[in-house]
Chains A and B, each alone.
Chain A
Amino acid sequence: MWSIVHKMGSPPWFYRFANRAIAWLLPIVLLALVVGSIWGLLIAPPDYRQGNSYRIIFIHVPAAVVALAGYYVMATAGLMSLVWKIKMADTAMRALAPVGAALTFIALVTGSIWGKPTWGAWWVWDARITSMLILFFLYLGVMALSEAFDNKAAAAKACAVLSLVGTVNIPIIYKSVDWWYSLHQPASIKFTGESAIDTSMLYPLLLMILAFYGLFALSVLLRMRTELLLTYRQSAWLNAEVS
């Protein structure tokens, strides 16, 4: 376990790892996204109450699920950068924030588009939606802080503290549909017990969730690689690696 952490903390090792992982992930992720979208859009049956508008679920839920999980990953990277001063953890945190923000943006906008035909409104100040909006601002906050300092160590510290404090929001988002009276429907997939969704809709949804996890990993690795290329452009190992 520790040897893996140690290896991942080494920029040359990580650069090679990222290159290989990107080459594998890119075709798999794109294929899964295309297949999942066609399945959800054209093959799955319509919902008996919402009709065809529910097809937005196949991008809305995966984006939201991964945006939430991604926040934990970012906070963990923040903790590692804060406690052990691992530079790669800082690089990861800086790469994670814009990806998380983009996924939260997808979840918010597709939710808004779904809300119009379903609830009759583009936006409601509902507990689930408002806490997701806060998540979006937390990601943007980390992005802004990482650029706000000339000193990289100070920026890393500030980002780590903000991302750790922001984890309070994640259980609130998860539980918001149970704790408050909410327009937002409760979860369709449950880890325990029967899912409230038919398998003809569940399978494409699960495929899309996996595809979005892959997309998340791919985008983060792409950004970390770019960050390494910028940070270590003077280093001999990187020059040897690219030539």
Chain B
Amino acid sequence: MYFETWSAVWQMDGHGPYVWAAYSLTAFVIFLLIASPWFRARQLTQALRDDAHRRAAKASLTGENHASEA
């Protein structure tokens, strides 16, 4: 490691605020880039699964009605 103390890491001879601001902002944008489509996809697959279950339940219900009619 180049720096000797953690406070030196934080301050970076006066450049600390610039460097850390740049890195935090980048980390935030990267988080959004990954998390937003990730959770959206999860939401969409869940909705598709729920629909499939609902359809299956409905199908089995109408299937039973047909059975009782016969």
Give residues in A with beta carbon < 8 Å to B: 26, 33, 37, 41-46, 51-53, 55-56, 59-60, 63, 99, 102, 105-106, 109-110, 113-114, 116-117, 215, 218-219, 222-223, 225-226, 229-230, 233, 238-239, 242-243
How many residues does chain B have at the interface if contact means C-beta atoms less than 8 Å apart?
32
Cα distance, A33 to B3, chains bound together (Å): 20
Answer yes or no: B21 CB below 8 A from chain A CBs.
yes
Contacts of B41 in A (CB 8 A): 222, 225-226, 229
From the candidates A63, A238, A242, name the one contacting B26 in the complex (CB within 8 A).
A63
Q: Nearest chain A CB to B35's CB is how many angstroms away?
A: 9
Q: Smallest Cβ distance from A214 to chain B, in angstroms?
A: 11
> C-beta contact mask, B27-56 vs A, less than 8 Å → 1, else 0?
001101110011011001101110110000
Interface class of chain A by DSSP: helix
Indicate whether A106 sits within 8 Å of B29 (C-beta atoms), given known contacts A56-B18, A116-B18: yes
Task: Select the residue from B2, B30, B47 with max chain A CB neighbours within 10 A.
Answer: B30
Q: Knowing A55-B12, A222-B34, A226-B41 touch, does A113 contact B29 (C-beta < 8 A)?
A: no
Complexed CA–CA distance, A59 and B20 (Å): 11
Distance, CA A55 to CA B32, complexed state (A): 23
